[in-house]
Structure 1
Protein backbone atom coordinates (compact mmCIF):
# COMPACT_ATOMS: atom_id res chain seq x y z
CA UNK A 1 0.00 0.00 0.00
CA UNK A 2 2.81 2.43 0.86
CA UNK A 3 4.37 2.08 -2.60
CA UNK A 4 0.99 2.66 -4.25
CA UNK A 5 0.45 5.81 -2.22
CA UNK A 6 3.95 7.08 -3.01
CA UNK A 7 3.43 6.58 -6.74
CA UNK A 8 0.12 8.43 -6.49
CA UNK A 9 1.89 11.35 -4.77
CA UNK A 10 4.72 11.70 -7.30
CA UNK A 11 3.33 14.60 -9.32
CA UNK A 12 2.12 16.47 -6.23
CA UNK A 13 5.58 16.15 -4.66
CA UNK A 14 7.06 17.55 -7.86
CA UNK A 15 4.62 20.47 -7.76
CA UNK A 16 5.47 21.30 -4.14
CA UNK A 17 9.22 21.12 -4.74
CA UNK A 18 8.94 23.09 -8.00
CA UNK A 19 6.96 25.83 -6.24
CA UNK A 20 9.65 26.09 -3.54
CA UNK A 21 12.41 26.20 -6.17
CA UNK A 22 10.61 28.97 -8.07
CA UNK A 23 10.17 30.88 -4.80
CA UNK A 24 13.90 30.51 -4.13
CA UNK A 25 14.77 31.46 -7.72
CA UNK A 26 12.61 34.55 -7.42
CA UNK A 27 14.45 35.51 -4.25
CA UNK A 28 17.76 35.06 -6.05
CA UNK A 29 17.02 36.62 -9.44
CA UNK A 30 14.08 38.88 -8.73
CA UNK A 31 10.44 37.89 -9.06
CA UNK A 32 10.03 39.96 -12.22
CA UNK A 33 12.06 37.28 -14.04
CA UNK A 34 9.98 34.34 -12.82
CA UNK A 35 7.63 34.27 -15.88
CA UNK A 36 10.68 33.98 -18.14
CA UNK A 37 12.05 31.12 -16.06
CA UNK A 38 8.72 29.31 -16.11
CA UNK A 39 8.76 29.43 -19.91
CA UNK A 40 12.30 28.08 -20.00
CA UNK A 41 11.51 25.24 -17.59
CA UNK A 42 8.34 24.34 -19.49
CA UNK A 43 10.19 24.28 -22.82
CA UNK A 44 13.16 22.22 -21.64
CA UNK A 45 11.68 19.82 -19.11
CA UNK A 46 9.97 16.61 -20.14
CA UNK A 47 6.71 15.72 -18.43
CA UNK A 48 8.15 12.48 -17.07
CA UNK A 49 11.67 13.73 -16.29
CA UNK A 50 10.92 16.39 -13.67
CA UNK A 51 8.63 14.24 -11.50
CA UNK A 52 11.31 11.53 -11.62
CA UNK A 53 13.91 14.00 -10.35
CA UNK A 54 11.56 15.11 -7.58
CA UNK A 55 10.98 11.48 -6.58
CA UNK A 56 14.74 10.88 -6.62
CA UNK A 57 15.30 13.80 -4.25
CA UNK A 58 12.52 12.58 -1.97
CA UNK A 59 14.06 9.10 -1.79
CA UNK A 60 17.67 10.10 -1.14
CA UNK A 61 17.00 9.96 2.59
CA UNK A 62 15.91 6.69 4.26
CA UNK A 63 12.34 6.81 5.58
CA UNK A 64 13.55 6.44 9.15
CA UNK A 65 15.80 9.50 8.82
CA UNK A 66 12.96 11.51 7.28
CA UNK A 67 10.76 10.80 10.28
CA UNK A 68 13.55 11.57 12.77
CA UNK A 69 14.01 14.97 11.15
CA UNK A 70 10.29 15.70 10.91
CA UNK A 71 9.46 14.80 14.50
CA UNK A 72 12.84 15.97 15.86
CA UNK A 73 13.33 12.75 17.82
CA UNK A 74 16.29 10.40 17.53
CA UNK A 75 14.48 7.41 19.09
CA UNK A 76 10.86 6.30 18.79
CA UNK A 77 10.16 9.06 16.32
CA UNK A 78 6.93 7.64 14.88
CA UNK A 79 3.77 9.37 16.16
CA UNK A 80 2.24 6.04 17.11
CA UNK A 81 4.69 6.06 20.01
CA UNK A 82 2.73 8.99 21.43
CA UNK A 83 -0.74 7.84 20.42
CA UNK A 84 -2.15 8.09 23.96
CA UNK A 85 -1.21 11.78 24.21
CA UNK A 86 -2.39 12.60 20.70
CA UNK A 87 -5.82 11.14 21.49
CA UNK A 88 -6.26 13.69 24.27
CA UNK A 89 -6.20 16.51 21.71
CA UNK A 90 -8.84 15.00 19.40
CA UNK A 91 -12.50 15.67 20.35
CA UNK A 92 -13.68 12.64 18.35
CA UNK A 93 -11.96 10.24 20.72
CA UNK A 94 -13.27 9.37 24.15
CA UNK A 95 -10.02 8.52 25.90
CA UNK A 96 -11.78 6.56 28.63
CA UNK A 97 -13.49 4.31 26.09
CA UNK A 98 -10.32 3.97 24.02
CA UNK A 99 -8.29 2.97 27.09
CA UNK A 100 -10.76 0.17 27.80
CA UNK A 101 -10.46 -1.15 24.24
CA UNK A 102 -6.65 -0.89 24.13
CA UNK A 103 -5.45 -0.78 27.77
CA UNK A 104 -1.78 -1.35 26.90
CA UNK A 105 -1.81 1.55 24.43
CA UNK A 106 -2.84 3.96 27.18
CA UNK A 107 -0.86 2.37 30.01
CA UNK A 108 1.77 4.75 31.39
CA UNK A 109 4.22 1.85 31.80
CA UNK A 110 4.09 0.87 28.12
CA UNK A 111 7.29 1.79 26.32
CA UNK A 112 7.10 4.07 23.30
CA UNK A 113 8.39 1.29 21.08
CA UNK A 114 5.69 -1.11 22.26
CA UNK A 115 3.01 1.57 22.01
CA UNK A 116 3.86 2.19 18.36
CA UNK A 117 3.80 -1.55 17.71
CA UNK A 118 0.38 -1.89 19.38
CA UNK A 119 -1.01 1.02 17.36
CA UNK A 120 0.30 -0.46 14.12
CA UNK A 121 -0.71 -4.10 14.67
CA UNK A 122 -3.93 -3.76 16.69
CA UNK A 123 -5.37 -0.59 15.20
CA UNK A 124 -3.90 0.60 11.90
CA UNK A 125 -3.80 -2.79 10.16
CA UNK A 126 -7.50 -3.31 10.88
CA UNK A 127 -8.61 0.00 9.32
CA UNK A 128 -5.88 0.77 6.79
CA UNK A 129 -8.23 0.40 3.81
CA UNK A 130 -10.93 2.73 5.11
CA UNK A 131 -11.15 6.01 3.14
CA UNK A 132 -10.30 8.28 6.06
CA UNK A 133 -7.21 6.34 7.13
CA UNK A 134 -6.08 5.70 3.55
CA UNK A 135 -6.28 9.41 2.74
CA UNK A 136 -4.52 10.55 5.91
CA UNK A 137 -1.76 7.98 5.32
CA UNK A 138 -1.30 9.31 1.80
CA UNK A 139 -1.15 12.91 3.04
CA UNK A 140 1.52 12.02 5.58
CA UNK A 141 3.66 10.26 2.96
CA UNK A 142 3.17 13.17 0.56
CA UNK A 143 4.46 15.85 2.91
CA UNK A 144 7.10 13.58 4.41
CA UNK A 145 8.64 13.00 0.98
CA UNK A 146 8.18 16.64 -0.07
CA UNK A 147 10.04 17.66 3.08
CA UNK A 148 12.85 15.23 2.28
CA UNK A 149 13.30 16.65 -1.22
CA UNK A 150 13.25 20.23 0.05
CA UNK A 151 15.66 19.37 2.85
CA UNK A 152 18.17 18.04 0.30
CA UNK A 153 17.79 21.19 -1.79
CA UNK A 154 18.17 23.41 1.27
CA UNK A 155 21.37 21.65 2.38
CA UNK A 156 22.71 21.96 -1.17
CA UNK A 157 21.89 25.68 -1.25
CA UNK A 158 23.73 26.20 2.05
CA UNK A 159 26.84 24.55 0.59
CA UNK A 160 26.57 26.67 -2.57
CA UNK A 161 26.26 29.82 -0.47
CA UNK A 162 29.07 29.02 1.98
CA UNK A 163 31.53 28.02 -0.73
CA UNK A 164 30.40 30.86 -3.04
CA UNK A 165 29.70 28.54 -5.94
CA UNK A 166 28.40 30.42 -8.97
CA UNK A 167 25.21 29.36 -10.71
CA UNK A 168 25.95 29.68 -14.40
CA UNK A 169 25.57 33.29 -15.42
CA UNK A 170 23.48 34.28 -12.40
CA UNK A 171 26.42 34.73 -10.01
CA UNK A 172 26.72 33.44 -6.46
CA UNK A 173 23.63 32.21 -4.69
CA UNK A 174 21.91 35.01 -2.78
CA UNK A 175 21.17 34.55 0.92
CA UNK A 176 17.51 35.33 0.13
CA UNK A 177 17.35 32.17 -1.99
CA UNK A 178 18.73 30.08 0.88
CA UNK A 179 16.25 31.60 3.31
CA UNK A 180 13.40 30.96 0.88
CA UNK A 181 14.32 27.26 0.76
CA UNK A 182 14.72 27.22 4.55
CA UNK A 183 11.20 28.62 4.92
CA UNK A 184 9.75 26.10 2.46
CA UNK A 185 11.53 23.21 4.18
CA UNK A 186 10.36 24.27 7.65
CA UNK A 187 6.80 24.66 6.39
CA UNK A 188 6.85 21.19 4.83
CA UNK A 189 8.24 19.75 8.08
CA UNK A 190 5.44 21.27 10.16
CA UNK A 191 2.74 20.09 7.77
CA UNK A 192 4.26 16.59 7.61
CA UNK A 193 4.36 16.41 11.40
CA UNK A 194 0.73 17.48 11.65
CA UNK A 195 -0.30 14.97 8.98
CA UNK A 196 1.57 12.19 10.80
CA UNK A 197 -0.18 12.98 14.07
CA UNK A 198 -3.54 13.17 12.33
CA UNK A 199 -2.88 9.83 10.64
CA UNK A 200 -2.47 8.18 14.03
CA UNK A 201 -5.60 9.64 15.64
CA UNK A 202 -7.71 9.04 12.51
CA UNK A 203 -6.90 5.34 12.68
CA UNK A 204 -7.92 5.23 16.35
CA UNK A 205 -11.11 7.25 15.74
CA UNK A 206 -12.16 4.92 12.92
CA UNK A 207 -11.28 1.77 14.86
CA UNK A 208 -13.33 2.74 17.93
Structure 2
Protein backbone atom coordinates (compact mmCIF):
# COMPACT_ATOMS: atom_id res chain seq x y z
CA UNK A 1 0.00 0.00 0.00
CA UNK A 2 1.36 3.42 -0.98
CA UNK A 3 2.17 5.81 1.81
CA UNK A 4 -0.06 8.82 2.28
CA UNK A 5 1.42 12.28 1.79
CA UNK A 6 1.33 12.89 5.54
CA UNK A 7 3.20 9.66 6.22
CA UNK A 8 5.89 10.74 3.77
CA UNK A 9 6.90 13.77 5.85
CA UNK A 10 6.03 12.64 9.38
CA UNK A 11 9.65 11.87 10.25
CA UNK A 12 10.67 15.35 9.10
CA UNK A 13 8.10 16.83 11.45
CA UNK A 14 9.42 14.64 14.25
CA UNK A 15 12.98 15.82 13.56
CA UNK A 16 11.80 19.43 13.88
CA UNK A 17 9.88 18.59 17.05
CA UNK A 18 12.88 16.76 18.55
CA UNK A 19 15.21 19.67 17.78
CA UNK A 20 12.88 22.10 19.54
CA UNK A 21 12.52 19.81 22.54
CA UNK A 22 16.32 19.51 22.68
CA UNK A 23 16.61 23.30 22.61
CA UNK A 24 14.03 23.59 25.39
CA UNK A 25 15.91 20.97 27.43
CA UNK A 26 19.20 22.85 27.04
CA UNK A 27 17.70 26.17 28.06
CA UNK A 28 15.90 24.68 31.08
CA UNK A 29 19.18 23.09 32.19
CA UNK A 30 20.92 26.44 31.77
CA UNK A 31 23.49 25.10 29.32
CA UNK A 32 25.48 27.62 27.35
CA UNK A 33 26.01 27.14 23.63
CA UNK A 34 29.57 25.99 24.30
CA UNK A 35 28.37 23.41 26.83
CA UNK A 36 25.34 22.23 24.89
CA UNK A 37 25.81 19.09 22.87
CA UNK A 38 22.99 17.96 20.64
CA UNK A 39 23.83 14.30 21.15
CA UNK A 40 23.48 14.69 24.94
CA UNK A 41 20.04 16.26 24.70
CA UNK A 42 18.82 13.90 22.01
CA UNK A 43 20.01 10.96 24.10
CA UNK A 44 17.63 12.07 26.84
CA UNK A 45 14.86 12.51 24.30
CA UNK A 46 15.56 9.12 22.76
CA UNK A 47 15.21 7.50 26.16
CA UNK A 48 11.83 9.14 26.63
CA UNK A 49 10.60 8.89 23.07
CA UNK A 50 11.42 5.63 21.32
CA UNK A 51 10.89 5.58 17.58
CA UNK A 52 7.28 4.48 17.41
CA UNK A 53 6.18 6.76 20.25
CA UNK A 54 8.00 9.69 18.67
CA UNK A 55 6.15 9.32 15.39
CA UNK A 56 2.87 8.81 17.26
CA UNK A 57 3.52 11.95 19.34
CA UNK A 58 4.11 13.95 16.19
CA UNK A 59 0.84 12.67 14.75
CA UNK A 60 -1.02 13.40 17.98
CA UNK A 61 0.30 16.96 18.15
CA UNK A 62 -0.48 17.52 14.51
CA UNK A 63 -4.03 16.24 14.89
CA UNK A 64 -4.88 18.71 17.64
CA UNK A 65 -5.75 21.22 14.94
CA UNK A 66 -8.23 20.67 12.11
CA UNK A 67 -7.35 21.44 8.50
CA UNK A 68 -9.42 24.63 8.76
CA UNK A 69 -7.59 25.77 11.90
CA UNK A 70 -4.25 25.10 10.21
CA UNK A 71 -5.32 27.10 7.18
CA UNK A 72 -6.35 29.97 9.48
CA UNK A 73 -2.90 29.92 11.07
CA UNK A 74 -1.14 29.98 7.71
CA UNK A 75 -3.28 32.54 5.90
CA UNK A 76 -4.26 34.59 8.97
CA UNK A 77 -7.87 34.53 7.83
CA UNK A 78 -10.83 33.40 9.92
CA UNK A 79 -13.46 33.12 7.19
CA UNK A 80 -12.82 30.91 4.16
CA UNK A 81 -9.14 30.32 4.93
CA UNK A 82 -8.57 27.46 2.46
CA UNK A 83 -6.49 28.60 -0.54
CA UNK A 84 -8.98 27.04 -2.95
CA UNK A 85 -11.53 29.63 -1.80
CA UNK A 86 -9.56 32.26 -3.76
CA UNK A 87 -8.46 30.07 -6.65
CA UNK A 88 -10.28 31.97 -9.40
CA UNK A 89 -10.79 35.42 -7.85
CA UNK A 90 -7.19 35.92 -6.69
CA UNK A 91 -4.67 33.31 -7.77
CA UNK A 92 -5.51 32.37 -11.34
CA UNK A 93 -4.71 35.74 -12.91
CA UNK A 94 -1.20 35.69 -11.40
CA UNK A 95 0.12 32.73 -13.43
CA UNK A 96 1.29 33.33 -17.02
CA UNK A 97 1.02 29.58 -17.69
CA UNK A 98 -2.76 29.75 -17.45
CA UNK A 99 -4.79 30.58 -20.54
CA UNK A 100 -7.84 32.38 -19.16
CA UNK A 101 -9.77 31.75 -22.39
CA UNK A 102 -9.27 28.02 -21.87
CA UNK A 103 -10.26 28.34 -18.20
CA UNK A 104 -13.49 30.14 -19.09
CA UNK A 105 -14.23 27.71 -21.91
CA UNK A 106 -13.90 24.75 -19.56
CA UNK A 107 -15.53 26.06 -16.38
CA UNK A 108 -17.58 29.12 -17.29
CA UNK A 109 -19.24 30.78 -15.53
CA UNK A 110 -16.43 30.95 -13.01
CA UNK A 111 -17.73 31.03 -9.44
CA UNK A 112 -17.30 34.16 -7.36
CA UNK A 113 -18.27 32.84 -3.93
CA UNK A 114 -15.46 31.45 -1.78
CA UNK A 115 -17.11 28.08 -1.11
CA UNK A 116 -18.06 27.66 -4.77
CA UNK A 117 -14.50 28.45 -5.88
CA UNK A 118 -13.10 25.88 -3.48
CA UNK A 119 -15.62 23.26 -4.63
CA UNK A 120 -14.72 23.78 -8.32
CA UNK A 121 -11.00 23.81 -7.60
CA UNK A 122 -11.28 20.59 -5.60
CA UNK A 123 -13.17 18.96 -8.46
CA UNK A 124 -10.34 19.91 -10.82
CA UNK A 125 -7.77 18.68 -8.30
CA UNK A 126 -9.40 15.24 -8.26
CA UNK A 127 -8.51 14.94 -11.94
CA UNK A 128 -4.90 16.09 -11.50
CA UNK A 129 -3.87 14.63 -8.14
CA UNK A 130 -2.02 11.68 -9.65
CA UNK A 131 0.56 13.82 -11.44
CA UNK A 132 4.08 14.20 -10.09
CA UNK A 133 4.08 18.01 -10.09
CA UNK A 134 0.80 18.25 -8.17
CA UNK A 135 1.80 15.61 -5.60
CA UNK A 136 5.17 17.29 -5.09
CA UNK A 137 3.64 20.70 -4.40
CA UNK A 138 0.86 19.24 -2.27
CA UNK A 139 3.40 17.47 -0.08
CA UNK A 140 5.44 20.64 0.44
CA UNK A 141 2.32 22.70 1.19
CA UNK A 142 1.08 20.18 3.76
CA UNK A 143 4.51 19.84 5.40
CA UNK A 144 5.02 23.60 5.75
CA UNK A 145 1.42 24.04 6.98
CA UNK A 146 1.85 21.32 9.62
CA UNK A 147 5.28 22.65 10.64
CA UNK A 148 3.78 26.11 11.22
CA UNK A 149 0.94 24.57 13.20
CA UNK A 150 3.30 22.57 15.41
CA UNK A 151 5.26 25.76 16.10
CA UNK A 152 2.05 27.33 17.41
CA UNK A 153 1.43 24.32 19.67
CA UNK A 154 5.03 24.49 20.93
CA UNK A 155 4.64 28.19 21.70
CA UNK A 156 1.45 27.52 23.65
CA UNK A 157 2.59 24.41 25.53
CA UNK A 158 6.32 24.93 26.10
CA UNK A 159 6.04 28.71 26.15
CA UNK A 160 3.66 28.48 29.10
CA UNK A 161 5.67 25.73 30.81
CA UNK A 162 8.90 27.62 30.27
CA UNK A 163 7.67 30.52 32.38
CA UNK A 164 8.02 28.22 35.38
CA UNK A 165 10.93 26.04 34.25
CA UNK A 166 13.34 28.39 32.52
CA UNK A 167 16.15 29.62 34.78
CA UNK A 168 15.89 33.20 33.47
CA UNK A 169 13.70 35.48 31.40
CA UNK A 170 16.46 35.61 28.78
CA UNK A 171 16.30 31.84 28.31
CA UNK A 172 12.53 32.03 27.84
CA UNK A 173 12.83 34.85 25.29
CA UNK A 174 15.51 32.92 23.38
CA UNK A 175 13.28 29.85 23.11
CA UNK A 176 10.17 31.80 22.13
CA UNK A 177 12.17 33.87 19.63
CA UNK A 178 13.61 30.79 17.93
CA UNK A 179 10.21 29.09 17.67
CA UNK A 180 8.61 32.30 16.37
CA UNK A 181 11.33 32.55 13.72
CA UNK A 182 10.61 28.99 12.63
CA UNK A 183 6.90 29.80 12.50
CA UNK A 184 7.50 32.86 10.33
CA UNK A 185 9.50 30.95 7.73
CA UNK A 186 7.26 27.87 7.84
CA UNK A 187 4.18 30.02 7.35
CA UNK A 188 5.72 31.91 4.43
CA UNK A 189 6.76 28.62 2.86
CA UNK A 190 3.24 27.25 3.29
CA UNK A 191 1.68 30.32 1.64
CA UNK A 192 4.07 30.12 -1.32
CA UNK A 193 3.63 26.38 -1.83
CA UNK A 194 -0.14 26.65 -1.50
CA UNK A 195 -0.24 29.25 -4.26
CA UNK A 196 1.92 27.12 -6.57
CA UNK A 197 -0.17 24.05 -5.75
CA UNK A 198 -3.46 25.82 -6.54
CA UNK A 199 -2.12 27.26 -9.79
CA UNK A 200 -0.42 24.10 -11.02
CA UNK A 201 -3.66 22.13 -10.68
CA UNK A 202 -5.54 24.71 -12.76
CA UNK A 203 -2.71 25.15 -15.28
CA UNK A 204 -2.46 21.43 -15.98
CA UNK A 205 -6.20 20.95 -16.30
CA UNK A 206 -6.67 24.03 -18.50
CA UNK A 207 -3.91 22.92 -20.88
CA UNK A 208 -5.64 19.62 -21.64
CA UNK A 209 -7.80 19.49 -24.79
CA UNK A 210 -11.53 19.37 -24.27
Question: How does the TM-score come out when normalised to structure 2?
Answer: 0.82
Task: Give structure 2 stretches of 5+ with no counterpart.
Answer: none
Matched, 1:97 2:86: no
Per-residue CA deviations over 1:143-196 (Å, capped at 9, x if unaligned) read 2222222210011233234xx3115xx667521111111111222122122222
Paired residue for 2:83? Answer: 79
Q: Check the 8 A contact 1:150/1:184 in 2, yes or no.
A: yes
Distance 1:99 1:26, change over 3 A: farther
Instruction: Please list, as runs of the form range in 1=range in 2, the aligned pairs for 1:61-80 lying within 5 A after superposition.
Output: 61-80=65-84
RMSD: 2.4
Q: Check the 8 A contact 1:9/1:142 in 2, yes or no.
A: yes
Per-residue CA deviations over 1:86-106 (Å, capped at 9, x if unaligned) read 12222322233323322233x
How far, CA to CA, are the matches of 2:56 and 2:45 in structure 1?
A: 15
How far, CA to CA, are the matches of 2:59 and 2:81 in structure 1?
A: 23
Question: How does the TM-score come out when normalised to structure 1?
Answer: 0.82
Paired residue for 1:180? Answer: 178
Distance 1:52 1:204, change over 3 A: same
How far, CA to CA, are the matches of 2:27 and 2:105 in structure 1?
A: 54
How far, CA to CA, are the matches of 2:18 and 2:117 in structure 1?
A: 37
Distance 1:89 1:148, change over 3 A: same
Per-residue CA deviations over 1:18-54 (Å, capped at 9, x if unaligned) read 3344455566643330333234334554222212211
Paired residue for 1:60? Answer: 64
Q: Check the 8 A contact 2:26/2:41 in 1, yes or no.
A: no
Shift of 1:59: 0.9
Q: Check the 8 A contact 2:18/2:45 in 1, yes or no.
A: no
Instruction: Please list, as runs of the form range in 1=range in 2, the aligned pairs for 1:36-185 lying within 5 A after superposition.
Output: 36-42=40-46, 44-84=48-88, 85-105=90-110, 110-121=112-123, 123-161=124-162, 164-166=163-165, 174-185=172-183
